[in-house]
Structure 1
Amino acid sequence: MKSYKVSVWKLSTNRSAKKPTYLARWSVDGQPFHETYKTKALADRFRAKLLRAVDKGEPFDTVTGLPDSLRSGKAALSLLELAVKYVDHRWPTSSAKQRDSMTDALAVAVPALTKAVRGRPEPAVLRRALRSYLLPTPWRTRERPEEIEAAVRWLERASLPVAELTDIARVHALVDVLGRKLDGKPAANQTYRRRRAATYNALEYAVELELLAANPLDKVRRKRGQQPVQEVDNRVVVNPRQARELLTAATYVGGWERASGRRLRAFFGCLYYAATRPGEALGLRRSDCDLPETGWGRITVEETRPSAGKSWTDSGEAHDRRGLKQRSPGEVRIVPIPPPLVRMLREHVEEFGTAKDGRIFASERGNVVASSSYYRVWRQTRELGLQPDQVGTVLAAKPYDLRHACVSQWLNSGVPAPEVARRAGHSVEVLLKIYAKCIDGQEAEMNERIMQGLGEDENE
């Protein structure tokens, strides 16, 4: 909206800081605005531009507080406007999970860089307004509840210009809020890394648009002690005996009639014997599998079906349909699979058949198996397959830990790291940094090898 009701006040001085700063203050339609400058000359020059616009009869924008002559520049674009432009730019080519992460990060960043405008809504309302109405491209035409509409209007008035991120104090404030939950408590390191990456990419887009000379996040680093630990905790990794017992225990979950565990035994087997990610196993089709009656077989991993939520996929399904992680479109990964997994897959197809599209693993209704379903079965599997004192530990706490166990077992069996990386779908660098761990139950064997290398007798 535009208004001609403008009042420009005298400069004021802020002497609370080490060095005095100068404020140019004005109001548009009763809404106060101010800009801070390090020198009086700069503040006076900006104030003169405001007075000149008033004398010319220019309308002032009620959101930015600026007249058309000053707002037409790129620097006047608000962080909210940048976020909307960036989401529109990325939405068509982003995966469902990327859309989720992108809107989550920007819904945290935008409210952190706002003016002191009266009537600030609650943090939860601001985040909901951004995540569910303002940012996602297809959702902007949805009918907005009254409190959401009020939050949107407030954000449009309060969002700071992108140029404010040249102030290092603003950047520090942004980094701090990216690492906090809605209640102000520290968020997980992984959450911070994901949000920072998404925000960084949005600010890179601002650099491309020449709104910023350089990405301001390059100037700020978290302390080293707060960096996330990327290595796999070897306490979660099962040994081969434990893995076999867990896969057998899965067949007892749900009883014979419901067969919820039997339906997922081969799914868990793919994670343990072929190091597939859960989404890759869910996307596996019968035509992707070479399952001979005896000996080794192979699977061709081509598609992944990660759980993303209906809100973020183009199809409206809960699972996205994507190519392999960090691979070019159409690229596949061929993984030899040992006889135990060949037998599991053959038995699974014989008993349960396949989904209409040829997928091996499907729910009773033929849909993609929900992550909540296989997590529920896995919890019950652990209770049946582990020792009572192990159930409360982190050992194989998540299905994904079976993949960790598989990669660790390959490495400890002497398979060269480049071949392990190829089968697991990693670079060698990532493999050795994250997955090179000894598996549970082999510590004595490793100690014996070391003693043999030293030429010592451990009993002496």
Structure 2
Amino acid sequence: MNTSYDVKFWEIRRNKSSKAASYEVRWKVGGREKSKSYRAKALGENFLSDLRQAAKRGEAFDMETGLPESMIQAKEAQNWYAFVLAYIDMKWPHAAAKTRDAMTDALATVVPALTRDLPGKPEVSVLRTALRHYALPPNARDKARPVEISKALRWLDKASVPLTDLQEAKTVRAGLDALALLLNGKAAASNTIRRKRAVFYNALQYAVELEELPANPVTKVRWKPVKVSETVDPRVVVNPEQVRELLTMVTYVGRRGRGRRLMALFACMYYAGIRPGEAVALRKQDCRLPATGWGRLSLDVSRPEVNTRWTDSGDGHETRGLKHRAQEDTRPVPIPPVLVKILREHLDEFGTAKDGRLFQTERGGVVGSTAYTEVWAAARLLALTPEQAASPLARRPYDLRHAAVSLWLNAGVPAPEIARRAGHGVDVLLRVYAKCIDGQEETVNRRIDDALAA
């Protein structure tokens, strides 16, 4: 195979010579022009994006077909399992750690379901372990494999259905049904089903882009997961007085001032309504803390905690941009005087880590979720009554963010402004916090009475 790294791309153009609407993707490999037409512009854009990402990864392009090595591997796949490996190779380099985790979780569920009934089938749990820990992550494929894992993967390669079988609705339905169940046979959570279905759909869409399938077969199957309840449970929402008591009790938890070191972290989640990963990543240079009045946080990075298996660096906290925003976007969040005071006192007592982070372990490391969750659990027992402690009330540190947004909504702050501060879309904000908007019923009833009386 003759290959070249000399690749050039042009923008997609409408194919005017065709009677039916079509869109042409054009690129050049080693001086040879290549083109590919799609009926839908979105398909062409996806294909062009995949080509460009392959070029960024430094892949060689075949001069005959014009395709990068990863796409050729996918087109040459003889079965669904081999295609999934090629799909993972294409997606992996540019995927965030949490995306890698979700992607391998979903595919490790659906790949064993799309197999033929051959003798010697391993337990589903063994197949999932083999896929998640050895076969799917590209950086794990060279690891030494136990005999049981090697046998499971050999069986999977033989039994996996041909990719063309996925044109049949019954085959796709088998995959969708597998996504809806846990290993113990019980129904999976609605959010889990929806997330895994999206991965399955995207993998099949890649096969459509490569023209290995004529259309995405998922769209042909009349299958709907259980409806997702996205609203926040009002029972988790604490009031300002309870928050103050919780933050006070946090300072009494742990040896060597462990809780006192974390109190301001929890205060940021409540008074600024920010996510835990955003609070963990907060740096001194992100904070404007005047001596009096309101201050401001300028958020541009998050440090969500992930399993080191899914990161390139081996770090348990991935540094990434803000959720649902472009990599360089910044979200300014005004903060009330009470939080300004807490942060100023925190800086006076604990200073910052070497990179400017406000919150650090005793040795200067990144604060882990296990540490702050343990402190929070202990503080709940001290601050709440036994009945409250046994309830969902502020059970997780994340519930402080829910309490903040609920407070803002009930205070009458316009929804677009709350959405901007919280990093939500307005539609998501109103849908997720619909049950937490209190005090509206009497006002609405009075307006209806007035209308009826008129």
Report the TM-score, using the length of structure 2 for normalisation.
Answer: 0.80
Structure 1 residue aligned with 2:176: 175
1:266 aligns with one of 253, 264, 267: 264
Structure 2 residue aligned with 1:109: 110
Indicate if the aligned counterparts of 1:75 and 1:163 stay in contact, CA closer than 8 A: no
1:347 aligns with one of 339, 345, 348: 345
Structure 1 residue aligned with 2:392: 394
Structure 1 residue aligned with 2:128: 127
When residues 94 and 337 of structure 1 are mapped into structure 2, their CA distance, relative to the original with a 3 A threshold, is same
Structure 1 residue aligned with 2:203: 202
Q: How much has 1:299 moved relative to structure 2?
A: 0.4
Counterparts of residues 214-253 of structure 1 (less than 5 Å): 214-223=215-224, 226-253=226-253
What fraction of aligned residue pairs are identical, expressed as a percent?
Answer: 55
Indicate if the aligned counterparts of 1:278 and 1:400 stay in contact, CA closer than 8 A: yes
Deviations 1:332-359 (A, max 9, x none): 1000000111111111111111111111
When residues 446 and 241 of structure 1 are mapped into structure 2, their CA distance, relative to the original with a 3 A threshold, is farther
Structure 1 residue aligned with 2:9: none
Counterparts of residues 48-197 of structure 1 (less than 5 Å): 77-197=78-198
When residues 233 and 222 of structure 1 are mapped into structure 2, their CA distance, relative to the original with a 3 A threshold, is farther
Deviations 1:73-94 (A, max 9, x none): 9596311111111111111110
Give the Cα separation in 1 of the matches to 2:85 and 2:186.
Answer: 27
Give the Cα separation in 2 of the matches to 1:76 and 1:318.
Answer: 34
1:326 aligns with one of 324, 327, 341: 324
2:376 aligns with one of 362, 375, 378: 378
Give the Cα separation in 1 of the matches to 2:77 and 2:449.
Answer: 73
Aligned residue for 1:112, secondary structure, equals coil
Give the Cα separation in 2 of the matches to 1:322 and 1:392.
Answer: 36
Give the Cα separation in 1 of the matches to 2:407 and 2:207.
Answer: 46
Q: How much has 1:200 moved relative to structure 2?
A: 1.2
Q: Which amino acid letter does the alignment assign opposite residue 253 of structure 1?
A: V
Deviations 1:197-238 (A, max 9, x none): 1111111111111111111122235447x1110111111111
**Count of aligned pairs:** 378
Give the Cα separation in 2 of the matches to 1:312 and 1:108.
Answer: 18
Indicate if the aligned counterparts of 2:173 and 2:223 stay in contact, CA closer than 8 A: no
When residues 173 and 148 of structure 1 are mapped into structure 2, their CA distance, relative to the original with a 3 A threshold, is same
Indicate if the aligned counterparts of 1:302 and 1:331 stay in contact, CA closer than 8 A: yes
Unaligned runs of 5+ residues in structure 2 are 1-72
Give the Cα separation in 2 of the matches to 1:189 and 1:220.
Answer: 18
Indicate if the aligned counterparts of 1:411 and 1:436 stay in contact, CA closer than 8 A: no
Aligned residue for 1:298, secondary structure, equals strand
Give the Cα separation in 2 of the matches to 1:85 and 1:400.
Answer: 37
Give the Cα separation in 1 of the matches to 2:99 and 2:204.
Answer: 16
Give the Cα separation in 2 of the matches to 1:150 and 1:76.
Answer: 20
Q: How much has 1:116 moved relative to structure 2?
A: 1.2
Q: How much has 1:437 moved relative to structure 2?
A: 4.0
Aligned residue for 1:261, secondary structure, equals helix
Aligned residue for 1:295, secondary structure, equals coil
RMSD: 1.9
Aligned residue for 1:426, secondary structure, equals coil
Deviations 1:274-318 (A, max 9, x none): 111110111110110001111110001111000111111111011
Give the Cα separation in 1 of the matches to 2:179 and 2:394.
Answer: 30
Q: Which amino acid letter does the alignment assign opposite residue 119 of structure 2?
A: R
Structure 2 residue aligned with 1:59: none
1:414 aligns with one of 406, 412, 415: 412
Aligned residue for 2:436, secondary structure, equals coil
Indicate if the aligned counterparts of 1:75 and 1:161 stay in contact, CA closer than 8 A: no
Indicate if the aligned counterparts of 1:269 and 1:341 stay in contact, CA closer than 8 A: yes
Indicate if the aligned counterparts of 1:75 and 1:211 stay in contact, CA closer than 8 A: no
Counterparts of residues 20-31 of structure 1 (less than 5 Å): none
Give the Cα separation in 1 of the matches to 2:223 and 2:161.
Answer: 24
Q: Are 1:286 and 2:287 matched, yes or no?
A: no
Indicate if the aligned counterparts of 1:273 and 1:338 stay in contact, CA closer than 8 A: yes
Give the Cα separation in 1 of the matches to 2:229 and 2:440.
Answer: 24
Deviations 1:20-74 (A, max 9, x none): xxxxxxxxxxxxxxxxxxxxxxxxxxxxxxxxxxxxxxxxxxxxxxxxxxxx995
Give the Cα separation in 2 of the matches to 1:246 and 1:365.
Answer: 26
Give the Cα separation in 2 of the matches to 1:123 and 1:153.
Answer: 14
Aligned residue for 1:299, secondary structure, equals strand
